[in-house]
Amino acid sequence: MHRLEGIKGIGPAIADKLIEMGITSAEALAVTSPKYISEEVGISKKKAIEISKNARELLKISFMTGEEYLKKRRAIGKITTGCRALDEMLGGGIETLAITELTGEYGVGKTQIAHQLSVTVQLSREEGGLEGGALYIDTEGTFRPERILQISQRFNVSNDVLKNIIFARAYNSDHQMLLIDEAPKIIEEHNIRLIVIDSIIGHFRGEYPGREALPTRQQKLNKHIRQLLALTEAYNLAVIVTNQVISDPATFFGNPNKPSGGNVLAHGSTYRIWLRKAKGGKRAAKIFDSPLHPSIECIFKITENGVEDIN
């Protein structure tokens, strides 16, 4: 982490106010909205933009060669899902520096995977984890600490498994975005390596119904996704978002369901995985949008131990 004192334009007074609001490093400052900084610190928006720009320059968040970016890519971490079939489909697990979207109908296993990843991120690197914590934002009231404890027994995670998951219940879309604004302080204090939002779209759909509200909703959702992408870059962490589906009445053949969120969520998510129920109580997962992976499918099951391989 880079200290605030090393950023051009930040004196002791501004540094104290930034620390007071939870921004304790250049990384946190670089991903925080200048408007939010201006309002909370009591400085002009021009000054807030200036110190944010200086923070990004210090962190070298700017142009780079393809070779330099390849080196950056080699620093990417991967979190095991705890299921060999899913890991193989994903090329080793859930990546940092990326947003991975899990979409599908109710009951296909989105929340179960999110719960399990909140456990496996705490594993050692040799075991497929990142030796860090999880920030879990629940928008639908589906987070169950009892389930976390049940899954953790399979992975022999310590009794501190719940202490390493920082939980928040988001009650509306503004609250959901505010929690992400406040995330840098939590990330630094608790070594957060995974952020989960379950689900990302629920509040936005409920608060902005109808075609006339769609532009406003999508603009706000786009800002939220940019918040998350900025955190992945600044802290080299992974983001998992679950998404709902909507029915397309114009579909006459094939699956009538499609992911909610439209093009905004489609373009904002780095990797998109479609989950569905399969025969015999099994589940199927398919990568349907990725800049890296082929469009392949795998089968898994959900038991009292969590998300597991069929065999």
Predicted confidence (pLDDT) at residue 177 exceeds the cutoff of 70: yes
Residue bearing the bigger pLDDT, 116 or 251:
116
Amino acid residing at 126: E
pLDDT-based confidence at residue 252 (cuts at 50, 70, 90)? low
Residues 166 and 206 in one domain: yes
Instruction: Over range 1-9, report the average pLDDT.
Output: 82
Q: Are residues 83 and 180 in the same domain?
A: yes
User: pLDDT-based confidence at 57, cuts 50/70/90?
Assistant: confident
Stronger pLDDT, 271 or 4, i.e. the higher one:
271
Are residue 54 and residue 76 in the same domain, yes or no? no
Q: Which range is most confident: 9-18, 72-81, 139-148?
A: 139-148
133 sits in which H/E element: strand 133-138
Determine what percent of the chain is predicted with pLDDT higher than 70. Answer: 97
Q: pLDDT value at position 295?
A: 85
Do 115 and 247 belong together in one domain? yes
Which of the four pLDDT bands, split at 50, 70 and 90, describes residue 43? Answer: very high
What is this structure's pTM? 0.85
Q: Judge whether residue 159 has pLDDT over 80.
A: no
Which residue, of 58, 89, 104, is where some domain finishes?
58
Choice among 150-154, 256-260, 274-278, 281-285 with the minimum mean pLDDT: 256-260
Residue range 65-101, pLDDT digits in tens: 888 888 878 889 999 999 999 999 999 999 999 999 9
Report how far residue 76's alpha carbon sits from residue 217's, in angstroms, rounded to the nearest whole number: 32
Reported confidence tier of residue 174, pLDDT bands at 50, 70, 90: very high
Neighbours of 105 (CB within 10 A): 14
Shared-domain flag, residues 251 and 180: yes
The residue count for the chain: 311
Least confident of 22-36, 121-135, 144-158: 22-36
Q: Which domain holds residue 37?
A: 4-58
When the pLDDT of each residue in the chain is averaged and rounded to a whole number, the result is 90
Residue in the structure block whose two tokens are 């914590």: 133
Residue 40: DSSP 8-state: H
Q: Is residue 254's pLDDT more than 70?
A: no
CATH of the domain at 104: 3.40.50.300
- CA dist 51 and 223 (Å) reads 21
How many domains does the chain fold into?
2
